[in-house]
Amino acid sequence: MPGDESLDELAALAETAGAIVVGRMLQRRDHPDPASYVGAGKLEELRAARPGLGYTLVLVDDPLSPAQQLRLERELDVKVLDRSALILDIFASRARSHEAALQVELAQHRYLLPRLRGQWEHLERLEGAIGARGPGETQLETDRRLIGGRIARLQRRLEAVRRQRALHRRRRARQGIPVVALVGYANAGKSSLMRALAGADVLIADQPFATLDPTTRRVAAAGPGIPAGLAFLLTDTVGFMQKLPAQLISAFRATLEELESADLLLHVVDATSPTAELQASTVEATLAELGLGDLPRLVALSKADGRDGDAAGDAGSLRALGAGVGGAVKPPIGLVVTSALRGWGIDALRERLSYELFGGVEAGVIAAGAAQGDAATPPAGGGRASSR
C-alpha cells in the first residue's frame, strides 16, 4: 500500500481508538533506522514540531522493535506506539465476549513480553548505586515469569474454546446445513451485507474492527430451481488488514478456524476504496497463511452506491474494478455488485449463494444499480461449491 494511503489507514485507526490526529510525517528510505526507526533529521523535525502541534502521542505505521520504541520515547518525551499496539488497543476496547477478551489479552501479553526491559530502564541507569541494580533485575525477571505464566494459562483456556468450537462444527456438519463465511478487509462492509442478507442484529459502524466476535445467522435459500425450505448458515468474522500483528492472528486462530468449516467464502470488497485490489490481495494472503487458500470463493463488491455516479450508469467502471479484483482473488466462482444501503444486488447475491450451495438455475453476474436487472454473461467456472 502506498505510503500516503497507509497513513490514511493509520489515521482512521487512531480516530477509532479515540485519538485526534494533529499531523503526519512521511519519510522515504530504503530501510528503517535500526536505532530510532526514522533518521536523525526526521527525528529532529518531529521534536521541533511538538510545540506547534501539541501532540502527546506518536503513532508509527510499521512495527517497532523494543529498542526503537524506547529511543523514540526518550528523544520525543511522549508515548510512542506502533501500528500493532494501536490495533491491539482497539481490539481490547471492542472485545465483548469472554472468548474475545481472552484472545486480545493473550495477544497483548505476547506483544508486551519482549518490551519489559524498557519498563525498568530507570533502575538500570542507576547501575553502580548501592541496591539499585539487583532489585531492578529481580523485578524484571519476576514480571517475565508472571506474564509467561499468564500466557500459558490463556493458551490453555483458548485451547478449551478451540475444542468447543470444533465440537459445534461437527454438530453442524451432521445436520447437513452448508456454511458461508464472510471474509474481507476491515471496514469493507461485511456486517452491513450480513444484515441485508440475514437480518442479523450486528453492530454496523463506519470504522475498522467494529465487530470482533463471530456472528452466525440462518439464511433462507432462494432462486430459480431452488426447493423451498432450504437454508444455509452465514458467518461473519473479524476483518483483515495490512500489517496485522502476528500476535493477533495467532491469538484469534480459534475464531478464524470457523472459516475451515465453510463450504464457501464470500469475499467482500469495498468498491469505493482506491486500493480495493490491494485490499483483496491482503485478504487472500491472510487466507493462504491460515491454510484456507483452496476454499471456493464468491466476490461481492460492496458499497456500490458510494461510487461516483449512479451504479447502473457506472457499470463499466464497476466491471473494470471487478476484473481487477477478480485477478487479485484466487479464481473466484463469480462476482456480484451490491449495496446493502440501497438493497442493490442483495437478491441476486442470495440467489447466487443458493445456486452454488444447492444447485439450480445459474444466477449470473449482476451489475445492479438503481435501474436493476442488467445481467452479464455468467462467469466461466461457475458451479456448485463442494460440500465437505
Q: What are phi and psi of 217, to 5 degrees?
A: -135, 155
Q: Which of these ranges, 51-55, 61-65, 136-140, 263-267, has the smallest mean pLDDT? A: 136-140
Label residue 373 left, alpha or beta by phi (over 0 means left) and psi (-120 to 50 means alpha): left
Q: Could you tell me the pLDDT band of residue 234, with boundaries at 50, 70 and 90?
A: very high
**Angle of CA points 223, 346, 170, to nearest 5°:** 70
In whole angstroms, what is the distance from residue 362 CA to residue 336 CA?
Answer: 13
Cβ within 8 Å of residue 244, ≥6 positions away: 87, 286
Whether residue 147 has pLDDT greater than 90:
no
Q: What is the mean pLDDT of residues 305-314?
A: 56
- Give the CB-side neighbour count of residue 129, counting CA atoms within 13 A: 10
Q: What are phi and psi of 245, to 5 degrees?
A: -60, 135
Structure-model confidence comparison of residues 248 and 147, the more confident one: 147
**Residue 88, number of CB atoms within 10 A of its CB:** 23
Q: Which residue has the cell 467464502?
A: 265
pLDDT at 113: 85
Helices (H) and strands (E) in the chain, counts: 13, 10
Q: Which of these ranges, 197-201, 234-238, 380-384, has the smallest mean pLDDT? A: 380-384
Q: What is the mean pLDDT of residues 350-372?
A: 64
Whether residue 382 has pLDDT greater than 70:
no
Q: Could you tell me the pLDDT band of residue 265, with boundaries at 50, 70 and 90?
A: very high
Pull the grid cell for residue 62. Answer: 510499521
Pull the grid cell for residue 280. Answer: 483483496
In whole angstroms, what is the distance from residue 354 CA to residue 180 CA?
Answer: 10
pLDDT at 367: 41
Cα torsion for 286, 289, 294, 295, to the nearest 10°? Answer: -50
Structure-model confidence comparison of residues 222 and 372, the more confident one: 222
In whole angstroms, what is the distance from residue 368 CA to residue 336 CA?
Answer: 8
237 close to 186: Cβ distance less than 8 angstroms? no
211 close to 203: Cβ distance less than 8 angstroms? yes
pLDDT at 378: 35
Q: Which of these ranges, 36-45, 100-109, 119-128, 295-304, has the smallest mean pLDDT? A: 119-128
Q: What are phi and psi of 68, to 5 degrees?
A: -65, -45
In whole angstroms, what is the distance from residue 256 CA to residue 290 CA?
Answer: 8
Residue 335's DSSP bridge partners are: 299
Q: What is the mean pLDDT of residues 81-93?
A: 88
Residue 219's DSSP bridge partners are: 232
In whole angstroms, what is the distance from residue 11 CA to residue 273 CA?
Answer: 15
pLDDT at 77: 94
| Closest of 205, 203, 200 to residue 216, by C-alpha | 200
297 close to 330: Cβ distance less than 8 angstroms? yes
Q: What is the mean pLDDT of residues 356-371?
A: 54
Q: Which pLDDT tens digit goes with each residue over 153-187?
A: 998 998 888 788 778 767 777 777 899 999 999 88
In whole angstroms, what is the distance from residue 332 CA to residue 329 CA?
Answer: 6
